[in-house]
Structures are given as structure tokens and as C-alpha cells.
Structure 1
Amino acid sequence: MKKAVFITGPTSSGKSELAVYLAKKFNGEVINADSRQVYKFLDYGSGKVTSKEMKGINHHLFSIASPKKNYFLARWLKDAYKALNKIIKKRKLPIFCGGTILYLKALKEGWILPSVKPDYRLRRKLEKLSKEELIEKIKEINPSALENIDLNNKRRLIRRLEIIRQLGKIEPIKKNPQVNLLILAISLPWEELEKRIKERLEKRIPFIIKEIKKLRKIGLSFKRIISFGLEYEWFGKFVLGEISLKEATEGCLKETRKFAKKQIRELKKINEVTWIKEKIEAEEKIDRFLLT
């Protein structure tokens, strides 16, 4: 089975920096595993690694999709396997990097997902509903379809309803693991992580606001921008004039802290995750992994 490393952890924990460091150390290339960083023009708000921070290491699946259209899990899996095979052919180590736990689970377990084309008419109808209303709709049709889905992600709830409408129901996910993954999650004291979240956001605020205005200029509605969540939601509302800059900053910080806690909780449920505190620990784990 093909081998790969997956660097994960809560937001602002230093995943991108560690992935680049390890790629240099082990002759690797980085594959994005963050559901917002796949989109073009979502740079500062998504915390995307810059070309300078890449330090000459090849990075895959960053800025590959239009923000006007949804990029779903099935497409990410297809693109991820393609990137992984390309890297292995070069006799290099694939290093996945990101905090989207759904991507991690799907890759680890080898999910085989149904091919369902977008139903734009249905989407327009469902967009008018709240997250709670979407959840109730799914419960009415197929309650088990709420498993393995982020209930706070409106786009994924809509996609789930789209699949149910076309297939009649959600079948249990078929699995065919194709990758032997070493999963390394960065562990930081909560006080340090909180500090990093705050500092990282404060540095990016002017750029996030500028980015949101640019997204409007290229034709994205405020509704679409806000759907990307966290920074885009709170500072989108500020640009729209609905809230003050202080309210946007405080709201975003609060939601980001909640999101980080959720990421940690979800990762702790995955038995194969190895928590690391130092770079040297990651190096030692990878050394052993590549020898077995």
C-alpha cells in the first residue's frame, strides 16, 4: 500500500510550517487538505500558505477551484489520489496538510462516494433555508444521512439533500483504503493556541477585508462569501455594514476558538492519530514509518 504522511491539528497550530519543514527533510511534496484553501482568491481569510512560506517545496491542490462553484469531497478525493500518485512516481513523500477532518477520514478509510451531478434548481431552493431547517429535512427523509457530516456546514447539508433526492437514500459509505497514512496532529497548550489564533487573525484583518471586497468585484454575492464561514462570515457582515469592526473581530475570534476545540475533539476520536509537540517527534515517527 502507498505510504503518505498527514499533518493535521487545530487551526493556527502551525501545520503548514511543519509540513514544509518535513517536506525538506524527507524529500516530500505537500498536498492541501483544507476545504477552503482549494478555492482561488480565498487567500488571507483561509490562512493559505504563501509562495514565500512554501520555501521552494511543491504544493498541490491549492487555488484550483472557482469560488463561484462548490468543490465537494468526491472531487477532493479524486484530485488527492491523482496528486499522491504523481508525487510517488517522482519517488518523493506525499505530505497531506490541513485541518478538514472529513478529508482525513475519507482518505484514511478509502471512501467510495456516489457520483451525483449538481442540481442547481434544488440548490437555489435549499439556500433559502436555515441550517436547522435543512437538518430537519434530512431527518424526515433519511435520519442516518446525518452521520459523517458537519451539521454546522450549510453547503454540505445542501449537498447531502441533493444526493438523497437523486439516489433516493444515502447508502452506507463503501470503503477501500488505498493509502497507508501516518497521521500526525500538532498538540499545543490551549493558552498558547488561543494566543496564536488572536495574533494570526489581528495581522490578517486589513487583508481579509480587502480580499472580501475583491471577491465582490469578481462577482461573488455577500451570501456566497459569508457561506465560507469564520473570517468570511464575520468580516463579510462588516463590509456589508451589518456589524462594527470590533463586533466582527470579537465574533470571529469566538467562533474560531470554538472551531479549534471541535477539531481537537474530532481528532481525539480517531485512534490512528499520533499527537506531537515538537518537530523532532514528527521526524522520529516518519523515520520509523518509512522503515516498516
Structure 2
Amino acid sequence: MQTQAPKIIVVMGPTASGKSGVAIKLAQKFNGEIISADSRQVYKGLDIGSGKVDGVWSMEHGAFVSENVLHHLIDVAEPMEDYNISHFKKDAEKIIGEIIGRGKIPIICGGTNFWIDSITNNTIIPEVAPDELLRSMLRSKTTEELFEELRRLDPERAKNIDAKNPVRLIRAIEICKALGKVPKLSVVSCKLSVKKYDFLQIGIKTEREELNAKIQKRLNERFDEGMIQEVESLQKNGVTYEWLERIGLEYRWISRFLQDKVGLDEMKKLLYFDIIHFAKRQMTWLKRNKDIIWLDKYEDIEKEVKNFL
């Protein structure tokens, strides 16, 4: 008799679509814990700009707590510390086992889709140690130059990478230099009669005009909450402008403003358009995943989850 695979819920969608709110409601309804899949929310101090939910760190649970729901992999790294997909996959798999062991439902939620895919597809991550000398040389290049170098080294990887993300580009080039090319991050090649986990992948469906309005509203709120001051504080506490530039979006544009490279109004406008383009790239990535069920109403999402569980 086959043992039923443990069930995991995944909540995905473009930035500002309301993923976190949906995940919290589901966790409250179905006795779940959330695993954050966000490459910026792992860092302490990157709060407003990364869109962390309101909450506090619990020493008792070793996790971030918001609305009485445990959120894992938030505030687990110091700024400028190397925390990449390899760290995420290892940590997330350990936490998934612990959540299931407590008789609860793991809910993966976030906007770093590359990281989520590493769990849902059970991909093998190449073990290539960071090459700080190479990284320092590559950081002097523009994103366009980095992308061209990657395309020369590995045209296949260049086809599906985020061409605007210098962190991803540098890591891909680093792997190419070490292994000759970026190995395909495909499903572990063993045909098992029993799969490890059973995933329900939910996508938050939002029309483009509505999403753009949400992005603008959220951006205004973040400025009102002190996002510029947050970046100022990070820089005063030793976080370099170079690192903030690589983290991207809010941290990149506010850093440029603080260095007098762009005016306030211009910075806000360019940041808004940058986030819109980021959302489009997220959707391009997500549309390749045919396992995602796209829903726009929470009631329908809850019903889908209830049937799944």
C-alpha cells in the first residue's frame, strides 16, 4: 500500500498581487505555517522595501510571527551575507519536514519564482563555491554587459534568466566559469512510484491595469512609511551602496537618489516603471508553469485548497 505524499500549498503571483495576505488566511484556516520564498526578505533590516508583513521575531519558535502565523526564512541573514538558491533549498526542505512533523501544512509563498521552482521541481542545484575575485570583476560591468557575457558562455541559460538582475547574472557566469555551462535545473532524474510531496500551486490572478494601480498605491504607502529612511539607515550601518544596487528595485533607486544621481520625483517615477517591468518578467516566468491554477477570488482559492487537502 502506497503512503500518501505530504501536501504542500504554494502561493504565487506577480509583485503586489496580494500573495502574503492570501497565504496568511490559508494558514489560519488550514493550520499551516508559511515558508517565505523571497530573496530580499531573508535579510534583516530590509523591511519596508522588501514588503515584509508586520510581525515580530519569536525566539521560542525560531521564526517570524505575523497574525499568529509562523513565517520561516524571514530575517535569517545579515545584509551583504551570501544567501542564494542553494541556501534556500536546503533550509526550506529542512523546514518543510519540521512543519509536516508538527502535523501542520507547509505553505510556500513569495515572488522569487526561481527559488520556488527548486522545491516544486526538486531540482539539483550545482555546488559551486563563490569566487569573490571573479564577482568583484563582474560587478564593475553593467547588466547589459553581464547578459552578453552569459549569452556567449551559455546561450541556453541566457534564454530564461532575468536579464535585469545582476545577482542572478553574476551567479550564472560564476557557474559557467566553473563547470563550462549552467547545468539544467531539471527534475531529479529518478522515476519513483511515490512522489516526495503533493503540491497545489495557486496563482493570484490580477488584471494588468489593476496590478499597476496596486503597485503605485503600495509604493506611495512605502514612501510614507519611511522607505527612504530605511535605506539611509542601512547605509549608515555599513551596508554599501554597491550591495544595495545589486539588491535592486526600491533599494537600487533610493540608493541612487541618496547619492544625488537622480532627483526625488524622477526616482519615484523610474522605480514605479521598474517594478511594472519586474512584474511582467515574473508573469513571463510563471506562465511557463502549467501546474499553476490561476484564481482571483479568495473564496475560490479557499475552496480549491479544501478540495486538495
**TM-score, length basis structure 1:** 0.94
The within-5 A match list for 1:32-111 is 32-51=36-55, 54-111=66-123
**Structure 2 residue corresponding to 1:19, chosen from 16, 23, 28:** 23
**Deviation (angstroms), 1:174:** 4.5
2: CA distance between counterparts of 1:55 and 1:62? Answer: 15
1:200 corresponds to 2:218 = yes
**Deviation (angstroms), 1:169:** 2.9
Q: CA separation of 1:140/1:190 partners in 2, compared to 1, >3 Å: closer, same or farther?
A: closer
Letter in 2 for 1:162: E
Q: CA separation of 1:225/1:136 partners in 2, compared to 1, >3 Å: closer, same or farther?
A: same
1:217 corresponds to 2:236 = yes
The within-5 A match list for 1:157-168 is 157-168=169-180
Provide, for residues 258-279 of structure 1, a one-character-per-residue CA deviation record: whole Å limited to 9, x for no partner: 2222222322221001111111
Asked if the contact 1:40–1:64 (Cα under 8 Å) also holds between the matched residues in 2, the reply is yes
2: CA distance between counterparts of 1:289 and 1:149? Answer: 32
Aligned residue for 1:248?
A: 267
Aligned residue for 2:60?
A: none
Aligned residue for 1:188?
A: 206
Asked if the contact 2:20–2:53 (Cα under 8 Å) also holds between the matched residues in 1, the reply is yes
**Deviation (angstroms), 1:148:** 4.0
Segment drifting more, 80-89 vs 105-114: 105-114
Asked if the contact 1:212–1:232 (Cα under 8 Å) also holds between the matched residues in 2, the reply is yes
SS in 1 for 2:106: strand
2: CA distance between counterparts of 1:145 and 1:192? Answer: 32
1:152 corresponds to 2:164 = yes
Q: CA separation of 1:13/1:170 partners in 2, compared to 1, >3 Å: closer, same or farther?
A: closer
Aligned residue for 1:28?
A: 32
Aligned residue for 1:286?
A: 305
Asked if the contact 1:65–1:71 (Cα under 8 Å) also holds between the matched residues in 2, the reply is yes
2: CA distance between counterparts of 1:107 and 1:37? Answer: 18
Segment drifting more, 225-234 vs 20-29: 225-234
Once superposed, what is the RMSD of the aligned Cα atoms? 1.7
1:258 corresponds to 2:277 = yes
The count of corresponding residues between Structure 1 and Structure 2 is 290
Segment drifting more, 49-58 vs 231-240: 49-58
1:171 corresponds to 2:175 = no
SS in 2 for 1:175: coil
Segment drifting more, 273-282 vs 136-145: 136-145
Percent sequence identity over matched residues? 38
1: CA distance between counterparts of 2:205 and 2:263? Answer: 34
Q: CA separation of 1:77/1:249 partners in 2, compared to 1, >3 Å: closer, same or farther?
A: same
Letter in 2 for 1:70: D
1:267 corresponds to 2:279 = no
**Structure 1 unaligned regions, length at least 5:** none
2: CA distance between counterparts of 1:2 and 1:123? Answer: 40
Q: CA separation of 1:191/1:169 partners in 2, compared to 1, >3 Å: closer, same or farther?
A: closer
2: CA distance between counterparts of 1:178 and 1:205? Answer: 43
Letter in 2 for 1:251: L
Aligned residue for 2:61?
A: none
Provide, for residues 214-242 of structure 1, a one-character-per-residue CA deviation record: whole Å limited to 9, x for no partner: 11122111121121111111111111111
SS in 1 for 2:7: strand
Q: CA separation of 1:259/1:145 partners in 2, compared to 1, >3 Å: closer, same or farther?
A: closer
**Structure 2 residue corresponding to 1:123, chosen from 135, 141, 149:** 135
Letter in 1 for 2:132: Y
Asked if the contact 1:113–1:174 (Cα under 8 Å) also holds between the matched residues in 2, the reply is no
**Deviation (angstroms), 1:2:** 2.7
SS in 2 for 1:64: coil
Letter in 2 for 1:102: F
Asked if the contact 1:183–1:272 (Cα under 8 Å) also holds between the matched residues in 2, the reply is yes
- The structure where helix makes up a greater share of residues is 1
Provide, for residues 141-170 of structure 1, a one-character-per-residue CA deviation record: whole Å limited to 9, x for no partner: 332332442221111111111112222333
Provide, for residues 180-239 of structure 1, a one-character-per-residue CA deviation record: whole Å limited to 9, x for no partner: 211111112323222211111111115111111111122111121121111111111111
